Amino acid sequence: MFGSMTGSPFANHAATDNNTPYRMSSTNDWKYEMRREPQEIIPKLWLGPFQASTNLAKMQALGLTHVLCVRDRRETSMINPRFPTNFIYMTLEISDSIDQNLISIFPQCRDFIDNALNSGGTVLVHCNGGIALSPAIVIGYLMFKCGWTSEYALLFVQSKRYCVSPSSFSTQLNEYEPIIFAQRMMALQATTANTGNGGGVGGSYSGNKNKRGLATDHQNPLNEEGEVDYERKYPQQPPGGAGGGGHAGMDTS
């Protein structure tokens, strides 16, 4: 599922979530050297390499106010905030490894990005090359905020920045799907209990037959009763089943 994409499946491919009118871009014009520049993923959220955080004039031209710097622990002496008096920084040390616990740090990343966007700011999320670490953070953010599957979020980000390939984190991003779904269902149940009707969360649900936990252009992960159909959507195992789970006890609020 994860890795560099071949061909151009992105043109005229719109998100299906009612609250996310974001559209994929065509990659026909992508050039290798563009990986050295940041790309705008959704309005005011940019993704790129460390090089994009080293030119003050260009950063100011983009209107950046916040920078989320993601670096490997071995890169602490090389990748650092360059302009701490000009921008608000958040720095994370993350290993580009399948052993890195990624899901547990999504909430703090999400809060940083949300605080910036909600205050009218513009955010750059970067790592060294802008290929794996920082894209994984952005993909996780979009999954939660837009209700997208990991597959769709990856395709969307790759349509903006074609070189993205967070393969080390594919398993965790896939596991993040049912976590988000469970949180949305809990919120739905709380809303239903408080209102006494079948109202949904953020317009994403409308009656049993049309409930959607995660938006995708491929298939609805729910059956007619509004429950996750693991045979159809998650063939590997449901969370907590044999071989499943993997990240129990993580803070994913």
Question: Catalytic positions, please?
Answer: 127
The pair of three-digit structure tokens given for residue 107, joined into one six-digit string: 């909430």
Chain-centroid distance, C-alpha 199: 26
**Buried residues in 27-61 as b, exposed as e (16+ CB within 10 A):** beebeeeebeebbbbbebbbbbbbbbbeeeeebee
For residue 214, the tally of other CB atoms under 10 A from its CB is 26
Q: Which of 161, 167, 208 is nearest to 10 (CA)?
A: 161
What six digits make up the tokens of 37? 């520049």
